[in-house]
């Protein structure tokens, strides 16, 4: 009998409240149907609530790379819903200024972590895979079979913020030369545990290394940056950008991106020239409440940031008038 791995959506109500907070001004006096985007469908928690609450004439487009997510999406029969087997780096391919609200729920879902066959967790014996999309790309095991010490070190240090990155990388290559490459999650977890002699209380020694390899093999931070740039293109004036992140590397990118585009920039060399207008207005940051964290400990690190697309073109016109 096949196991059922469940997922509890983090900040479910808060995210949908923020996404559907208001009708973008581009639609206020229009008969056009708003389009919302759930760029990380996962197991559909956010999408189902969006569908139940969005205007009857609206449409919802979802994105996901995971074949299991597409299987789950197929159970949704609402004709207003469609899903694309793509990562959210492809957001910018949507028509310009066509989206009334965009949600990004970053990281991995509980079914991905809890299914040993996916290779994301050091808690279970499984293949050392970690690909979000199992139909394409290179697994962690395949990459580690050939990667050099310096490259492995850089990945663990940059994406895992691991101070023992060099020692772990050397141990991985030494193991490969002595007994062949690593092929399972437990082999990697044990190697890291044997190499890292000290660790924060309550944290498995392999936590940072597994995070680093997952982020690297899926190009998660690069894809996030591309998605945020795409959001500026596809969001309508007044459209909402809602991003939920689960570790500091993701949140730093989101925070800096919103800050960068939420201010007017003046060219000191041309003091009478129009400023570079701001494209976003930051609306705030939300953390899960104590009740949600108690019910779902995986929510404890979540941070949700909300921004709104400004009417940049109108500001330029007004300045130049």
- pLDDT, tens digit (0-9, with 9 covering 90-100), for 59-117: 999 999 999 999 999 999 999 999 999 999 999 999 999 999 999 999 787 778 878 88
Residues 52 and 26 in one domain: yes
In a domain, 98, yes or no: yes
Which residues in 246-302 belong to E strands, given as ranges?
280-286
In a domain, 128, yes or no: no
- Domain of 275? 12-110+220-320
User: Are 176 and 144 a contacting pair, CB within 8 Å?
Assistant: yes
Closest by CA to 213, choosing from 187, 188, 248, 196, is 188
Token representation of residue 131 = 């690909």
Query: Is the model's pLDDT at 55 over the cut of 70?
Result: yes
Token representation of residue 81 = 């819903």
Residue 100 gets which letter from DSSP?
A: E
**Considering the chain, what is the average pLDDT of its residues?**
88
3-state secondary structure of 168: helix
* Pair type for strands 35-38 and 59-63: parallel
pLDDT of residue 115: 86
In a domain, 120, yes or no: no
In a domain, 284, yes or no: yes
pLDDT band at residue 38 using 50, 70 and 90 as cut-offs: very high
In a domain, 37, yes or no: yes
pLDDT of residue 264: 63
Length of the chain: 321
Give the span between the Cα atoms of 41 and 109, in whole angstroms. 10
User: What are the pLDDT digits (tens) for 127-177?
Assistant: 999 999 999 999 999 999 999 999 999 999 999 999 999 999 999 999 999
In a domain, 161, yes or no: yes
Give the span between the Cα atoms of 47 and 70, in whole angstroms. 13
pLDDT band at residue 321 using 50, 70 and 90 as cut-offs: very low
In a domain, 154, yes or no: yes
pLDDT of residue 313: 45
Q: Look at the chain and report how many structural domains it folds into.
A: 2
The neighbour count for residue 142, using CB atoms within 10 Å, is 16
């Amino acid at each position: 009998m096949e196991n059922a791995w469940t997922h509890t959506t983090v900040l479910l109500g808060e995210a949908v409240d923020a996404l559907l907070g208001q009708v973008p001004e581009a639609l206020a006096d229009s008969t056009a149907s708003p389009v919302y985007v759930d760029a990380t469908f996962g197991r559909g928690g956010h999408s189902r609530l969006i569908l139940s609450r969005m205007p009857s004439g609206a449409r919802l487009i979802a994105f996901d790379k995971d074949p299991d997510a597409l299987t789950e999406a197929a159970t949704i029969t609402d004709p207003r819903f469609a899903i694309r087997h793509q990562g959210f780096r492809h957001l910018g391919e949507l028509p310009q200024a066509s989206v009334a609200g965009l949600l990004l729920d970053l990281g991995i879902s509980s079914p991905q972590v809890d299914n040993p066959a996916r290779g994301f967790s050091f808690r279970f014996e499984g293949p050392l895979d970690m690909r979000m999309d199992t139909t394409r790309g290179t697994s962690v095991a395949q990459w580690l079979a050939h990667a050099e010490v310096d490259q492995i070190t850089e990945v663990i240090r940059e994406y895992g913020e691991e101070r023992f990155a060099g020692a772990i990388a050397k141990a991985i290559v030494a193991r490969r030369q002595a007994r062949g490459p690593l092929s399972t999650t437990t082999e990697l977890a044990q190697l890291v545990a044997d190499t890292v002699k000290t660790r924060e209380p309550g944290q498995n020694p392999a936590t940072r290394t597994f995070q680093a390899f997952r982020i690297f093999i899926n190009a998660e931070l690069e894809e996030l940056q591309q998605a945020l740039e795409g959001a500026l293109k596809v969001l309508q004036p007044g459209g909402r950008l809602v991003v939920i992140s689960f570790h500091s590397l993701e949140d730093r990118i989101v925070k800096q991106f919103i800050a960068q585009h939420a201010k007017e920039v003046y060219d000191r060399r041309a003091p009478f020239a129009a400023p570079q207008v701001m494209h976003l207005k930051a609306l705030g940051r939300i953390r899960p409440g104590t009740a949600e964290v108690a019910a779902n400990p995986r929510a404890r690190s979540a941070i949700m940031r909300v921004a709104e697309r400004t009417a940049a073109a109108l500001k330029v016109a007004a300045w130049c008038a």
